[in-house]
Structure 1
Amino acid sequence: MNRELIIAADQGAFNLPDTDWKILSQDAQGKQIDVTVYFREPQSDWKQMSFPIYVSRDSVDAYLVYRRIFPGYRMWNEMGIYQRCVENYVEKSVLNNQSTNNSCMNCHAFCERQGEQMLFHQRGSHNGTYLIDHRQVKKIALERDGKPASFVYPYWHPSGRYVAFSTNETHQDFHLSDENRIEVYDVESDVLIYDTEKERVFSSPLLASMACYETFPNFTPDGNYLLFCSADSVCMPENYRDVRYNLLRVAFDPEDGSIGTQVDTLYNAREAGRSVKFPRVSPDGKRLLYTVSDYGNFSIWHKDADLHMLDLSTGAIDSLPEVNSPDVESYHSWSGNSRWFVFSSRRDDGLFTRPYLVHVNERGQCGKPFLLPQASPDYYECSLFSFNVPEFIHTPVIISKERLVEASRKEDTTTIKHIEGI
C-alpha cells in the first residue's frame, strides 16, 4: 500500500513527525520515497520540485562520534568529543575542554565500534593517553631517549588487548602562494604497539626505523595482520613534496604479540605517483578504504585528497568518482555491517570539515554521499565548527563526562620509558 504524507509550513522549513517518518521509511526499505515540494514566493505563482529519497535495507551503526573544533591552525578556544545518535538528533558531549583547562583533545578510537572500550589523547596540562574500559580509566604517557613523547594515531586490535600507535614529531608551516593553506608534515615517526594486559610497549625494526617515516597503523578484522603507511625519510621541510607513503602489511600473532619478518606492499607510492594514508579494512574483510593525495600524510588540508577502495579478493582499485569532490575527502570509518562508511569532507565551502555518509552495496558499489542530517536545515550554515575524525560505534559511550574530568585531574599517569624490540 502506498502511503501519502502531507506537511504544510509557512516559514520555509518543517519537521516530519517522528512516528510518521519511521513508518514511511520502514515501508520504503529497498525502494524509494517520492517527494514533491510546492512553494510560492511573494507575488509569484506556485512552483514545484520533485526528487526521490532512496531507502536502503541495510542498517547503519546507531552512533557517530566526532571532534568538534573551530577550523583554525595553531590556537583553539573550544573543542570537544561528541556523540550523535544517527537515529535521531540527540547529541551529547563525551568530554569538552571547557572542563579541562582548554586542553587539546584528539584521536578518539574504539575497539570493535564499542562505546564501552575507547581511548583518546589530551595535550597540555592534562597530557596523556586515556584508555577507557567501561567506567575504568587508565592514563599512560611515553618517554623516548629520556624525553617526553606522544602516542598519536591509534588503532585497536579486535581482541581489545593491543593498541597500535604511531608516534610522530609533527611540524606545521604556512604557504605564501598555494591552493593549500598550510603544510603539516612529520620529521620523524614510528609505529609502536601497546599491550594493555602487560602494560608494555613493543615494536620491530620493520615498524620503527630511521630510514623511513612509519605511521597510520591499522589491524585487519581477523587480527592477524598490521597495516601501516611508510615513506622514505628525507630532509624536511625542503623536500616535503617528495614524500609519498606506501601501504604495507606485516603479520601479527595476537597470542604472544610477535611481529612478522616479511613486509608485503599493498600500495606502491612510487608506481602510483601518489601518497596513501588512513587505511581501513571493512569489517567483513572484503575491501580496503584509504585516502590518497599527491604527496604527504596530512590530507585534511590537501584539496587533491580523495578516497579510493581496493577489492582485497581481486586487487581492483575503485577511484570512487561518485564519492569524491574537487575539494578534500579525508578521514573515514566503516559501519559494523560493511554497508556504510562515513568520511570527512570540505566540499561545501573549502573551510569547514563535515561528515558525509555513503552506502556500499554487496558488489562494493557506492551510492551518493549525503551530509549527516540535522534537525534544522540551516544548522551547518550557522555552525562555526568543523567535525573531525568521525567514527561509527554501535553501542554508546557509557562513561560520564564527570568521570573523565575527574580522571584528567586526579588519575595517576603510567609513563612507559622502554620500547621492546628496537
Structure 2
Amino acid sequence: MKNAILFHIFLLCICCMACTGTTKEPVADVTLDELPSIFPDYADVTIPPHIAPLRFRLSEPGDEAIAVLSCGNEKMITAASTDGQFLFPEKEWNKLLDKAVGKDIDVKVYRREKNEWQSYPTFLWHVSADPIDEYLVYRLIEPGYELWNKMGIYQRHITDYEQTPIIENSLTNHNCMNCHSFCRQDPEKMLFHMRAELPGTYIINGKSVEKLDTKAGEKVQSLVYPSWHPSGNFVAFSVNNTRQAFHMNDKNRIEVYDLSSDVVVYDVNKHEVVTDSLIFSDKAFETFPTFSPDGKTLYFCSAQAKEIPKDFKSVKYSLCSISFDPETRRFGHQVDTLYSSEQATVQITGAEHKSASFPRVSPDGKQLVFTLSEYGNFSIWHKDADLYRIDLDSGVMHRMDEVNSDDVESYHSWSSNSRWLVFSSRRIDGLYTRPYLVHIDENGKTGKPFVLPQEDPDFYSHFMFSYNIPEFVKGKVEAEVHTIADTARKPGNRIRMGE
C-alpha cells in the first residue's frame, strides 16, 4: 500500500514538472537540419500579445520530447505527453507572452531516440504589439449539405479556450440559423437570421432582442447577407433567391447559385427598406453588400443576369461600389467598378475573368479584402477560391499569396484595429472550414496565418463541424440564450418598403 502511494506521488510530481516548466533542457547529441513536423503548423507565425497557448503535437516524438520557449531571460520548458503533445500551461504561457510583446519567442524542440537527444532548428513566434479583439463569433454546422441536426452560433474567448453559445438550434426546433453580423465589432449590436421554423431576422441591442418579419411585399421576401452601417441606424442586405445542386463528377462537390438577387438598405429606426434601380434590377445579380467605415460608400458584387441553372458557370461577379447618403437615404447616380470580371485589364496574371465575392473593408478604410474564384458567388465550395486585397488609396490590387493555399479560402473579417484578419480555410483536409488568424501591419505586410488554438492539439483532427462566418468582436455577447429563444416564438415586427 505504501509503495503504491509513493508511486502515485511520483507520477504526480512528473506531471507537475511537465506542466510547470521545471523540466531540464537537454544537451543535444545530434543537431537536425529540418524544422520539426508539428500539427497544427505554428512555425514562424506572428501572434497577438494575448492569445490562448499555441499547443501542438510533434509528429515523431520519439521516446521523449521537450520544448523550450524563451524570450530574453524568460524561459519555459515543457515536456511532451506520451503521444507528443505539448500542452503549455496557461499561467506560464501568459507570463512569457507579457515579457515578449514586440519581441520574438524562440521555440526549440528536442526529441530523444533511445539514449540520443536530437535538437531541431529553432523557429519563432513573433509577438506583435498590436492587440486583437477579445472574442471570435462563428456558426458551427455539420457539413451535411442538405440534412443536419445540430447547429449554433458560438463565441470563443481568444485569450483562452472558453467557448459559449449565443444561440443553439436545440432551443428553436432544430431550425437553421445563419448570417450573424456585428456593428463595428460591438457585441451589444448584433443580428442573425433564422430559417424554416421560427423564421425572421433577429436584432440584439445589449440584452434586448427584436424579431423582424422581413417580408416587404413581393420584391423583398427574405433578407440575406448583411452589413451594418457604422452609425447602427441602417443595415444593408442582399435579397437572394438561392438554390443548391450537387456535381456528379467535379472537385467542387456542391454548387450554390442565385436565381435572382438584389441589394437593399434597412432603416433600423423606421422599419423601412430602401433601394435604387442601380442595385435592384432584373438585368443583374447584386449581392454581398458591405458599408465603408465612414458609411458613405456601399460596396457590393454584381453580375450580368443569366439563365440559371443552365448558364451558372458563366455567371461572374464584379466588385462595385455606389455612394450612400445616410441623411436622405439616397444612393449615388452611378456605380463604380473596382474589379471587373469582364475586362482583362487586371494587374495580376491569373486574376482575369474571375468572380468576386465577400468584400470586406478594413475599419481604417485603407484596405479591402475579397475572394476571387472561377465563377459564381458561393466561393466556400470552390477549391480555387483565394483572397485578394485592394489598396483603396492607390487602387492597386494584390493576391494574398501569404495566406492562400491549394484549397478553399473564403469568408473573412477584420479586427477593430485593422491589424488582424480572420478567414475560413479548408486547407487541413479539404472538408471542414476552420478559422485562421493572420497579422497585417500598417504597411500591408502580411504574416503567416495560423489556425485558432485549441486546448487539445488534435482537436481539428476529430472535430466534425465546420466554422462558418468567423467575426471578430470586442467583447462578450451578453444577451441571454433563453431570451433569444423566447423571442423566436413571438410574432415579428413587420418591415415595409420606404420611398
Quick check: TM above 0.5?
Answer: yes
How far off its partner does 1:205 sit? Answer: 0.4
Give a deviation string over 1:278-334, Cα, whole Å, max 9, x none: 111100010011011011000000001000000111111110111100100000000
Deviations 1:260-290 (A, max 9, x none): 1121111111123011111111000100110
Shift of the alpha carbon at 1:44?
Answer: 6.7
Matched, 1:200 2:272: yes
CA distance in 2, matches of 1:148, 1:360: 38
Does the alignment pair 1:282 with 2:353?
A: no
2: CA distance, partners of 1:400 / 1:83: 13
The 8 Å contact of residues 271 and 494 in structure 2, kept in 1 or not, is answered as no
Please give the secondary structure, in 1, of the residue aligned with 2:332.
strand
SS at match of 1:285: coil
Q: Does 1:268 align with 2:367?
A: no
Identity %: 51
Tell me the equivalent position of 1:4: 75
Match for residue 118 of structure 2? 47
* Structure 2 Cα separation of the partners of residues 17 and 349 of structure 1: 28
> How far did residue 94 of structure 1 move?
0.5
Selected match of 2:375 from 295, 309, 323: 295
**What is the DSSP-based 3-state SS (H/G/I as helix, E as strand, rest coil) of the residue aligned with 2:79?**
coil
How far 1:198 moved relative to its partner? 0.8
Q: Which amino acid aligns with 1:333?
A: S
Of 295, 299, 313, which aligns to 1:227? 299
1:339 aligns with 2:419: yes
Counterpart residue identity of residue 493, structure 2: T
Q: Are the counterparts in 1 of residues 423 and 435 from structure 2 also a CA contact under 8 Å? A: yes
Q: Distance in 2 between matches of 1:32 and 1:146?
A: 58
C-alpha separation between the residues in 1 aligned to 2:255 and 2:128? 39
**Aligned mates of 2:197, 2:219 — CA distance in 1:** 17
Q: Output aligned runs, 1:9-408, within 5 Å.
A: 9-11=80-82, 12-40=84-112, 43=114, 45-49=116-120, 50-143=122-215, 145-146=217-218, 149-271=221-343, 272-408=352-488
Q: Which amino acid aligns with 1:306?
A: D
Q: Give the secondary-structure state (helix, strand or coil) at the position aligned to 2:424.
A: strand
**Aligned equivalents of 2:245 and 2:80: distance in 1?**
50
- 1:21 aligns to what SS in structure 2? helix
**Count of aligned positions:** 418
Given the alignment of the two structures, is residue 420 of structure 1 paired with residue 498 of structure 2, yes or no? yes
Q: How many Å apart are 1:148 and its aligned residue? A: 7.9
SS at match of 2:301: strand
Distance in 1 separating the partners of 2:218 and 2:307: 24
Contact 1:248 1:266 (C-alpha < 8 Å) held by counterparts: yes
Q: Distance in 2 between matches of 1:208 and 1:44?
A: 72
Structure 1 gaps of 5+ residues are none
How far apart in 2 are the matches of 1:354 and 1:40?
33
> Counterparts of 1:209 and 1:61 in 2: how far apart (Å)?
38
Q: Secondary structure at the match of 2:85?
A: coil
Equivalent AA in structure 1 for residue 399 of structure 2: S
CA distance in 1 between partners of 2:178 and 2:116 (Å): 52
- DSSP-derived class of the 2:370 partner: strand
Cα distance, 1:143 vs structure 2: 2.6
1:4 alignment partner AA: K
Write out per-residue CA displacement over residues 181-203 of structure 1, whole angstroms, 9 at most, x where no aligned residue: 11110010011111011111111
Indicate the RMSD between aligned Cα atoms, in angstroms.
1.4
Aligned-partner Cα distance in 2 for 1:48–1:78: 45
**Structure-2 change in CA distance of 1:398 and 1:10 (3 Å):** closer
Query: SS in structure 2 opposite 1:348?
Result: coil
CA shift, 1:144, in A, is 5.3
Q: Does structure 2 retain, via aligned residues, the 8 Å contact 1:141–1:151? A: no
Higher strand share: 1
Bigger radius of gyration:
2
1:384 & 1:186 partners in 2: Cα distance? Answer: 28
Cα distance in 2, alignment partners of residues 14 and 366 from structure 1: 27
